[in-house]
Amino acid sequence: MAYDYQAVHALDGTIGAVPGQRANHLAVHRATAIAVVLAAPGHGAEAAGILVADGAFEARFCGPGEWLVLSEVHAPETLVAELSVRLGAFAFVVDQSHGRVALTLSGPDAARILANGIAVDLHPGAFAVGRAATMLCNHLSVNLARTGVDRFDLVVMRSFAEAFVADLKVMARSHDLSVDFATR
């Protein structure tokens, strides 16, 4: 018997892709490696320093002493291994590549669409490019990172990903939105 396991993405066959690239677009990332870094108690500053100083990783704040690290180039295991080596005793690294789903919302109405579910002020002056935080979007928790004036990365729990995308489509009802898996 051959054992060749194929991973299924949480949104495979469920998102009801709205194809093409409309004015606003929600891209679902199929193979992003995601790790959560928890600073060891008393070592938040050291962990933050290593994460921020190292341009190799996209570290997103999601709570005191807690970051999400996303990578499009690492495999989940290598991401965890590399982070663990660099952070040493300053942090604990947990693979969440299968536990979370990464999405990118871009377009001129991106902030306006998100304001239909998110209470945080997303004006570029208040939530600048490069900032990230974990917040509620309607019923669900999402880590939101601003990667451009009109561009946001969203990380949601895997089990809620389908409900989240369905919600986002409703939030974007008055705005031209396409939804599809990202092409690499």
Partner 1 sequence: MTAYRLASGGLIDRSNTIGFTFDGASLSGHAGDTLASALLANDRLLVGRSFKYHRPRGIVTAGPAEPNALVTIGTGARRDPNTKATVAELYDGLAATSQNRWPSLAFDIGAVNDRLSRFLSAGFYYKTFMWPAAFWEKVYEPLIRRAAGLGRTDLPRDPDGYEKSWAHCDLLVVGSGPAGLAAALVAARSGLRVILAEQDFVLGGALLSETTRLDGEAPFVFARHALDELHGHPGVTLLPRTTVFGWYDDNVFGAVERVQKHSATIDAARPVERLWRIVAKHAILATGAEERPLVFGGNDRPGIMMASAASTYANRFGIAAGRSVAIFTNGSSGYRTAEDLSAQGVEIAALIDSRTDASDRAPDGVRVVRGGGIIDTKGRRRVRAVIADRGGFEELIACDAVAMSGGWSPVIHLACQRGGKPVWSQALQAFLAPEAGDGLVMAGAAAGHYRLSECLDDGARKASAIVEALGRPVAGFERPVVGEEVDPSFTALWHVPGARSKAFVDFQNDVHGKDLGLALREGFGHVEHAKRYTTSGMATDQGKLGNINAIGILATMRGVSPAEVGTTTFRPFYTPVSFGALAGSSRDEHAMPVRRSPLHGWAARHGAVFIDAGLWYRSSWFPKAGEKTWRESVDREVRTVREHAGLCDVSTLGKIEVFGPDAAEFLNRLYCNPVLKLPVGKARYGLMLREDGMVYDDGTVSRLAEEHFLVTTTTAMAAGVLSHMEFAAQVLWPELRVRFLSVSDQWAQMSIAGPKARTILQAVVEDDLSNAAFPFLAAREVRLKGNLKARLFRISFSGELAYELAVPAGYGEAVADALMRAGEPQGLCAYGVEALNVLRIEKGHVTHAELDGRVTPDDAGLGRMMGTGKPDFIGKRLSTRFGLTAADRAQLVGLKALEADKDMRAGAHLLKDGAKPSTINDQGWVSSVCFSPTLGTHIALAFLKSGRERYGEKIVVWDKLRGVETFAEVCDPVFVDPENRKLMA
Size of interface with partner 1, in residues (CB under 8 A)? 53
Pair 22, 97: CB distance under 8 Å: no
Which residues, at least 6 apart from 18, have a Cβ–Cβ distance to it below 8 Å? 169, 177, 178, 179, 180
What is the secondary structure of 11-52 as a DSSP string? TTTTS--B-S--SEEEEEPSS-EEEEEEEPTT-HHHHHHHHH
| 20 lies in the site for partner 1, by CB under 8 A | no
| 98 lies in the site for partner 1, by CB under 8 A | yes
Instruction: Give, as ranges, the residues between 44 and 63 that touch partner 1 (CB under 8 A).
Output: none
Least CB distance to partner 1 at residue 52 (A)? 19
- Own/partner pairs, 131-139, CB within 8 angstroms, 24+ separation: 131/61, 132/60, 132/61, 132/62, 132/68, 133/61, 133/62, 134/62, 134/63, 137/164, 137/167, 137/168, 138/167, 138/171, 139/167
Instruction: Give, as ranges, the residues between 136 and 175 that touch partner 1 (CB under 8 A).
Output: 138-140, 157-160, 162-164, 166-167, 170-171, 173-174
Which residue stretch of 6-14, 17-25, 50-58, 144-152 sits at the interface with partner 1 (rule: CB under 8 A)?
6-14
Looking at the DSSP assignment, which residues form a beta bridge with residue 61?
67
- The residue (of 6 and 55) whose beta carbon lies closer to partner 1 is 6
| 25 lies in the site for partner 1, by CB under 8 A | no
Which residue stretch of 4-12, 18-26, 52-60, 146-154 sits at the interface with partner 1 (rule: CB under 8 A)?
4-12
Least CB distance to partner 1 at residue 21 (A)? 19
Instruction: Give, as ranges, the residues between 72 and 91 that touch partner 1 (CB under 8 A).
Output: 76-77
Looking at the DSSP assignment, which residues form a beta bridge with residue 39?
91
**For binding to partner 1 (CB under 8 A), which residues are involved?**
1-10, 13, 36, 38-42, 65-66, 76-77, 92, 94-100, 115-116, 118-121, 123, 126, 138-140, 157-160, 162-164, 166-167, 170-171, 173-174
